[in-house]
Amino acid sequence: MKVTIVGAGNMGRGIGMRAVAGGHGVEIVDRDAEQARALAEELGGSATALRPDDPFGGDVVVFALYYPGIKDAVREYADRLAGTVVVDITNPVDTETLDDLATPPGTSSAEEVAQLVPEGTPVVKAFNTTFAPTLVAGEVGGQQLDVLIAGDDDTAKEKVAQLVADGGLRPLDVGPLRRARQLEHMGFLHIAVQQPLGLGFGSTFKLHS
């Protein structure tokens, strides 16, 4: 499949590396065209850079952006999202307090995004509990990364799960899109403990049975 990644930052790099490693085509989109070009060149393989006004070719479009900027980007690119699967990776941390989520109780960034995409466009929550350095490495301490996935469309989740698995990671379907609320709280907790525990954004959550 082809994957369009909006955002040429650290998470865009990490997810792009997994996608390229899995043999998928990758398009990088960023308002800074030079940054998009540099990341595509770094990723190598089939990765290419798009200009902001180019049409998207991805079956899956990953918005690797911060909150609330992700909502602005979804609005900006809405006319290019029909027929795709949209992936929200965001942890909507309150940037003023850094001590809570910015989303109102009873919702999530992913559910807000779902209200902004074209009708019939599925939104999937994924990658918000994995940090960029661990995605680049593809593992933590020799352990395969778990990627928790939530969404209301089973076919869309299967596409994202295939992308995850092809990149050497383990996809775990945790339920409907409303589970994104818990995933975003989980992601926030993971961020919050990095400094106190000296983890350096190199940790991961792992489910064992």
Range of the structural domain that residue 6 is part of: 2-197
What's the pTM?
0.96
Q: What's the CATH code of the domain at 30?
A: 3.40.50.720
Domain assignment present for 202:
no
**Structure-token pair, residue 66:** 């911060």
Domain assignment present for 208:
no
Domain assignment present for 26:
yes
Domain assignment present for 129:
yes
Cα atoms in the Cβ-side hemisphere of radius 13 Å centred on 157 = 16
Domain assignment present for 133:
yes
Domain assignment present for 205:
no
Alpha carbon distances (Å) from 152 to 111, 129, 130, 173: 10, 19, 21, 11
Count structural domains, the chain. Answer: 1
Domain assignment present for 67:
yes
**Predicted pLDDT at 209:** 77
Of 87, 70, 90, whose CA–CA distance to 188 is shortest? 90
**Predicted pLDDT at 96:** 83
Domain assignment present for 50:
yes
pLDDT band at 95 (very low <50, low <70, confident <90, very high): confident
